[in-house]
Each structure stands twice: as structure tokens, then as C-alpha cells.
Amino acid sequence: MDLLRFTTAGSVDDGKSTLIGRLLYDSKSIFEDQLEAIEKASEQKGEKQVNLALLTDGLRAEREQGITIDVAYRYFATPKRKFIIADTPGHIQYTRNMVTGASTANLAIILVDARHGIVEQTKRHSFIASLLGIHHIIYCINKMDLVDYNEKVFQTLKTDLKAFSSKLKTKDISYIPISALKGDNVVNRNTNMPWYEGSTLLHSLENIHIASDRNHIDCRFPVQYVIRPQNDAYHDYRGYAGRIEGGVFKKNDEIMVLPSGFTSTIKSIDTFNGEVKEAFAPMSVTLNLEDDIDVSRGDMIVRKNNSPKQEQNIDVMLCWLSETPLKHKGKYALKHTSKDVRCMVQNILYKVDINTLHRNEEDKNITTNDIARISLRTTQPLFIDSYGNNRATGSVILIDESTNNTVGAGMII
């Protein structure tokens, strides 16, 4: 059994909450007391049916306004897989939440209302999924019950979506006609759409191949923490703790430490349960090196013949998360893997209109939810890959030094 993380997106009222409720309900992940609570709440609101959407309502403010305003995480499992859903709101003013949810997802479900077809939001959500490096998109054409389960509606929409999504970086895209409300093709197949021969949504979620989505070629090990037991049994032990963010490290591999450039070999890969012969992303391990060289947090251990770029001038696609606009020539704290540096915004190249993907080189006013390409200069070199090659070594966050808030999320180009 492995783990799949996915995010759900759609415009308001496309049926996102109903769909998640349906997935949880039909996969028997909802408990009686939860069901009772939402039955009571539905009744209070004067609704006839139990509103499955209420299951995924989180905070009080949201309950009162009846909207989702933050990323909420949900969990369910089948005998095949455990699932983590990043449930994110669809409205344009919450682009940043969607970016947050998408940043750790393997897959995105994008809901489309069968009656309305492709709308601005569909394009925006698709673009964000693709920008955030999500490898798999499933378009769920929802509310098929309201168009009489008509195959033609589905086929036309599928053709439109195909034409549009061919421009995306994401290559694995599928299309499923569903009714979240009635449950058709979500977990169970119904007789309402005999013309549909593909798999149900849950079946797809259970079977999509995700193991090869990670980079298992370029070895990257950002050092997180140095372990020095200083006890009798491990007197001279120095282990470099961290998580493998790319490639496969093996015992006896020749490695190089950045930025020093010192080389050594891996003496052992240690874990609490004993040595392992090899380790790959995303394993947390401790590397023990043959030679006594100086290594500390923020350094990166790589293979001798395969280094990331070492750069101080970095171009990123930036999603701005803060209400305070991005300052041209402004200075920010920057985090990249386990490294902390500062940076200055050198240049704002263009802003992306996330509905049309149009590049606007005139408008340099970057505020909440904007996506822009910018150039940064950092106080020290970073060891980077492009985001497309490696999500972990290709991403940065910017922090406002006066508030300590995370204000920007950047994907290295």
C-alpha cells in the first residue's frame, strides 16, 4: 500500500465538497458521529437531503459564510492506497491556497460543470496544476445527471479540454463523467452511463502510477542536521541527517559536498533499524562519510559527476501570497532546501494573466495571488535544479523579514 496526495479544484458550486463527501462516504471513511453531526446541520439549514458537502467544512468562519477559505486536509484509505486530499477553495482570491495544496500533490482533480463547460477557473486551475509540477490531472465532468447523462455533452467537453490542455506541461490527463450527488462513476459504476467504458474516479486514483514521478537519477541530499552522539559507543561518530531529494545513494558511492567541493565516499547509510544498502527519495536517513570533512546544515551532498547549478542569480516563477505587494529591489529572507539566505528582487520580468496565460510586461504591480516571473540575487550561491527536474531543489519561499511571514513561493526556471 502506498500513498497518493491529490488536490481538488473547481469553481464555486461545481460540486467539489459534494465530491469529496461522496468519496469519503462511499469508501466508508465517514464515521457515524460525523454523519449524525452533518445530518443535524443539514436539517437545521432546512435541506432535504443530507448535505455531504458539510463534511468538509472546517473552521467556524467558513461554516458561517458557507465557503472554504483555507487548505484543509482529508484522509481516506482503500486496501490499495492511502489518500491525502488537499481540499482547496476555487475562487480567484484563493489562488495562493490552491498553490499551497498543489505544492505537495501527485495529482489534481479538476471539476467541470457539465452544463457550463470550460470556464475561466478551469483554465486557471489547470495552469496552476501544471505550473506546480503535478504529473497527473483528472478532469471530472460533474453533474452529468443534469444533462440526462448525455454522452455527446461529455464528448464535446472532452474534445474542448483536450485542445486546451495540450498546452500544459502535465502529460497524463484523463476525463471522467460523474455525478457527485448521485454517486455515478465516483466509487461505484452505475447504469446511467453505459456508454462510458473508462474507469471510475476511485479506480483511477487507486491505480495511477506515481513511483516514477520522482527524480531517481540526480542525487541530491541537503544536509538538515549533524548528528554527534558524543557518547562512549559512538565516540567519533558524525552523521549527516537529511532526506534524499533525488537519485539513489548507495554505500561506497563517491560523493561531493557543496559548497566546499570536498569529496569522500559513503561509509554507511544509517537508520535506527540498522544500515541500509541504498536510499532514495523521499527517505530520511543519516549518511556517514569515510573522511572527516567539514559539513553542516545548508550544505548539499551530491554525486561527484552530477552537480546541481551553483547560482546567485536565479529566475523564478513566483506566486505572491501576501497582501503587501512585492517590492521591486526589495530584500527578503529566502529558504531553499535546508539553506537560509537573503535575496533582493532584481527585476520583475512579467506578470502572468492566469486566466489567459498572457504575459503582461507592463504591469509590474505584484499583489496577492499574482503569478510573475522575477529575477532574484541571493547573498550566497544556492545549489539548484529547475523545478521541472526536481520539486525539492527547484523551489524557494520568500519571507518578509519584518513580519516573518511567508510571502512568496518560487519555482526555479
Partner 1 sequence: MTDYNLSHLEELESESIFILREVAAQFEKPTLLFSGGKDSIVCYHLARKAFFPANVPFPLMHVDTGHNFDELYEFRDKLINETGARLIIASVQESIDQGKVTEEKGLNASRNKLQTTTLLDAIESNKFDCALGGARRDEEKARAKERFFSHRDDFGQWDPKNQRPELWNIFNGKKNYGEHFRVFPISNWTEMDIWQYIKKENISIPNLYLTHKRKCFVRDGVIMAKTDFIDTKPSEEIKEMQVRFRTIGDATCTGAVSSTASNIDEIINEVAATRITERGGRSDDKRSEAAMEDRKKEGYF
Ligand X SMILES: Nc1nc2c(ncn2[C@@H]2O[C@H](COP(=O)(O)OP(=O)(O)O)[C@@H](O)[C@H]2O)c(=O)[nH]1
Give the residue, chosen from 119, 333, 349, 357, that forms a contact with partner 1 under the rule CB under 8 A. Answer: 333
- Which of 323, 317, 339, 341 has its CA nearest to residue 331? 341
List binders of partner 1 among 229-258 (CB under 8 A). 229-231, 233-234, 237, 239, 241-243, 248
CA atoms 272, 275, 281, 286: torsion sign: positive
Give the residue, chosen from 272, 294, 305, 329, that forms a contact with partner 1 under the rule CB under 8 A. Answer: 272
How far apart (Å, rounded) are the C-alpha atoms in residues 61 and 259?
A: 48
How far apart (Å, rounded) are the C-alpha atoms in residues 84 and 29?
A: 12
How far apart (Å, rounded) are the C-alpha atoms in residues 16 and 101?
A: 14
Taking contact as CB under 8 A, which single stretch among the options 168-176, 259-267, 306-314, 395-403 is the one that binds partner 1? 395-403
Q: Contact, 185 vs 178, CB < 8 A?
A: yes
Inter-axis angle of helices 151-165 and 120-131, nearest 10:
50
Q: Contact, 368 vs 321, CB < 8 A?
A: yes
Q: Contact, 173 vs 137, CB < 8 A?
A: yes
Give the residue, chosen from 146, 283, 357, 413, that forms a contact with ligand X under the rule CB under 6 A. Answer: 146
The residue of the chain with the least Cβ separation from ligand X equals 15
Taking contact as CB under 6 A, which single stretch among the options 5-13, 72-80, 220-228, 295-303 is the one that binds ligand X? 5-13
Taking contact as CB under 8 A, which single stretch among the options 92-100, 176-184, 186-194, 200-208 is the one that binds partner 1? 92-100
Which letter does DSSP use for residue 22 in this model? H
Q: Answer with the entry of ligand X, partner 1, none that 211 interacts with (C-beta below 5 to 8 A by kind).
A: partner 1
List binders of partner 1 among 200-229 (CB under 8 A). 211-212, 214, 216, 224-225, 227-229
For partner 1, give the closer residue by CB, 139 or 240: 240
Q: N- to C-terminal Cα distance for the chain? A: 34
113 touches ligand X by CB under 6 A: no
How far apart (Å, rounded) are the C-alpha atoms in residues 27 and 298?
A: 43
Give the residue, chosen from 4, 5, 6, 15, that forms a contact with ligand X under the rule CB under 6 A. Answer: 15
How far apart (Å, rounded) are the C-alpha atoms in residues 399 and 408?
A: 7
For ligand X, give the closer residue by CB, 17 or 337: 17
12 touches partner 1 by CB under 8 A: no
12 touches ligand X by CB under 6 A: yes
List binders of ligand X among 38-77 (CB under 6 A). 53
List binders of ligand X among 116-145 (CB under 6 A). 142-143, 145
Q: Answer with the entry of ligand X, partner 1, none that 75 interacts with (C-beta below 5 to 8 A by kind).
A: partner 1
Residue type, 271: T
Residue type, 314: I
Give the residue, chosen from 4, 5, 6, 17, that forms a contact with ligand X under the rule CB under 6 A. Answer: 17
Which letter does DSSP use for residue 325 in this model? P
Q: Answer with the entry of partner 1, ligand X, none that 14 interacts with (C-beta below 5 to 8 A by kind).
A: ligand X
Give the residue, chosen from 50, 118, 397, 413, that forms a contact with partner 1 under the rule CB under 8 A. Answer: 397
93 touches ligand X by CB under 6 A: no
271 touches partner 1 by CB under 8 A: yes
Give the residue, chosen from 85, 107, 181, 334, that forms a contact with ligand X under the rule CB under 6 A. Answer: 181
Q: Please, which residues bridge with residue 87 across strands?
A: 8, 72
CA atoms within 13 A on the CB side of 92: 11
Cell of 213: 514521478
For ligand X, give the closer residue by CB, 186 or 411: 186
31 touches partner 1 by CB under 8 A: yes
Cα–Cα distances (Å) from 403 to 71, 195, 324, 332, 410, in that order, read 22, 56, 11, 11, 19
Taking contact as CB under 8 A, which single stretch among the options 28-36, 116-124, 173-181, 251-259 is the one that binds partner 1? 28-36
10 touches ligand X by CB under 6 A: yes
**Residue with grid cell 443535524, as numbered in its chain:** 40
Q: Which residues contact 54 (CB under 8 A, 6 or more apart)?
A: 17, 21, 38, 41, 42
Which letter does DSSP use for residue 41 in this model? H
Residues at the interface with ligand X (CB under 6 A): 10, 12-18, 53, 142-143, 145-146, 179-181
